[in-house]
């Protein structure tokens, strides 16, 4: 077996999940750091780069130091900050954490749907006020969920809402595939058909990766196409939604509400309207943070390394030129 050198970019050098790196083959050389200097000694022989909790300029600088790099892995599913020109143009494969966190995100979407359908905010407010005030709620069976970006997260959402009687629509970049019917989805639209899908949807789940094509894909025209009773749920990347347009639609009650786990700027700045809008459910980018979420991510990397070392195909290989 070849001897590999692995460079691990980690903001926290005491991260307990880094101890799992001891499960790599004993002959593996490992350097963990949060600066270029930490990798200078081993970079010339590095074959693997793990972007654990740091990316951006450091990843770019480290990649440039590694002429023998044969594989780059990102813990996260999102690639903004990870995919840069030199990596995109190189033959070095890039893999990511796609699918590792999808199940909790599917559960969050279902929870958000129930939150608005049953008006849990009102229940909580009345309980705190000691007020007995019966009101009508919405039955979600028979309602429609529209999913923008039907990848692993989108499928995790569909797998949860379909069994309880909800209709599922989806937008996929490549549009519908007649020879690959999906039992979870009633209809698949190409990107150009998203306004048609939005007009039919009671809940809109944004689960698309951030690319030049998806940036701002939910804007004024899309909010205008939605039902006044529509709820937007963003599980993908903040800039997929035009945030200013969403604030206007929520403030003017042109849509019913929004459940948001991702934002243009994180942490969300003090005084942002999302903090005070009554029709917003705000999650601080932790909808997939189960107690073992980072351990899951590390164990996925370790399984990937076994495939890499054995010369087997890697999972989650990114189409770098397309950005996902």
Residue 229: closest CA among 104, 143, 101, 319: 143
Cis before 267 (ω within 30): yes
3-state secondary structure of 177: coil
Residue 71: closest CA among 324, 322, 316: 316
Q: Examine the residue annotation and report whether 299 is marked as an active-site residue of this protein.
A: no
3-state secondary structure of 29: strand
118 near 281, Cβ under 8 Å? no
The DSSP line for 259-308 is: EES--SSSSPPTT-GGGT-TTEEE--S-TT--TTHHHHHHHHHHHHHHHH
In what order do the strands lie in the sheet containing 280-282?
187-189, 167-171, 144-148, 203-206, 231-234, 257-260, 280-282
Q: What gap in Å lies between CA 212 and CA 323, rounded to an integer?
A: 9
Q: What gap in Å lies between CA 321 and CA 318, rounded to an integer?
A: 9
Q: Examine the residue annotation and report whether 289 is marked as an active-site residue of this protein.
A: no
Residues 285, 289, 299, 307: which is the catalytic one?
285
The one-character DSSP state at 52 is S
72-92 burial by CB neighbour count: b if 16+ within 10 A, else e? Answer: bbbbbbbbbbbbbeebeeeeb
Q: Examine the residue annotation and report whether 237 is marked as an active-site residue of this protein.
A: yes
Residues 4, 73, 155, 237: which is the catalytic one?
237
Q: Give CA angle at 206 (242, 263), nearest 5°.
A: 50
Residues 40, 86, 89, 266: which is the catalytic one?
266
Residue 104: closest CA among 141, 138, 77, 74: 77
70 near 47, Cβ under 8 Å? yes
Q: Give CA angle at 26 (22, 30), nearest 5°.
A: 60
Q: What gap in Å lies between CA 236 and CA 255, rounded to an integer?
A: 20
Which of the residues are catalytic?
Answer: 237, 266, 285
């Amino acid at each position: 077996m070849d001897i590999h050198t692995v460079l691990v970019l980690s903001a926290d050098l005491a991260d307990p999940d880094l101890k799992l790196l001891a499960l790599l083959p004993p002959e593996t050389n490992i350097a963990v750091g949060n600066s270029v200097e930490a990798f200078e000694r081993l970079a010339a022989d590095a074959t693997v780069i793990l972007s654990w909790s740091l990316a951006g300029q450091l990843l770019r600088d480290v990649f440039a130091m590694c002429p023998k790099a044969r594989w780059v892995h990102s813990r996260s599913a999102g690639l903004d900050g990870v995919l840069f020109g030199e990596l995109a143009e190189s033959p070095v494969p890039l893999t990511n954490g796609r699918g590792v966190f999808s199940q909790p995100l599917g559960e969050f979407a279902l929870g958000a749907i129930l939150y608005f359908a049953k008006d849990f905010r009102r229940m909580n407010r009345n309980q705190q006020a000691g007020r007995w005030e019966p009101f009508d709620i919405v039955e979600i069976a028979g309602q429609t969920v529209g999913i923008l970006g039907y990848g692993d997260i989108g499928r995790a959402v569909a797998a949860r809402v379909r069994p309880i009687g909800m209709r599922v629509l989806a937008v996929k970049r490549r549009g519908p595939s007649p020879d690959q019917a999906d039992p979870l989805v009633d209809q698949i639209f190409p990107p150009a058909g998203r306004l048609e899908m939005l007009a039919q949807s009671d809940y809109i789940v944004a689960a698309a990766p951030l690319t030049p094509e998806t940036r701002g894909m939910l804007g004024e025209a899309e909010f205008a196409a939605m039902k006044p009773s529509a709820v937007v749920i963003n599980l993908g990347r903040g800039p997929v939604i035009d945030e200013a347009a969403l604030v206007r639609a929520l403030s003017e009650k042109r849509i019913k509400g929004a459940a948001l786990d991702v934002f243009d700027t994180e942490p969300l700045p003090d005084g942002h309207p999302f903090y005070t809008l009554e029709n917003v459910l705000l999650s601080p980018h932790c909808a997939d943070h189960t107690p073992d979420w980072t351990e899951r991510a590390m164990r996925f990397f370790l399984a990937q390394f076994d495939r890499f070392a054995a010369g087997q195909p890697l999972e989650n290989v990114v189409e770098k030129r397309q950005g996902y």
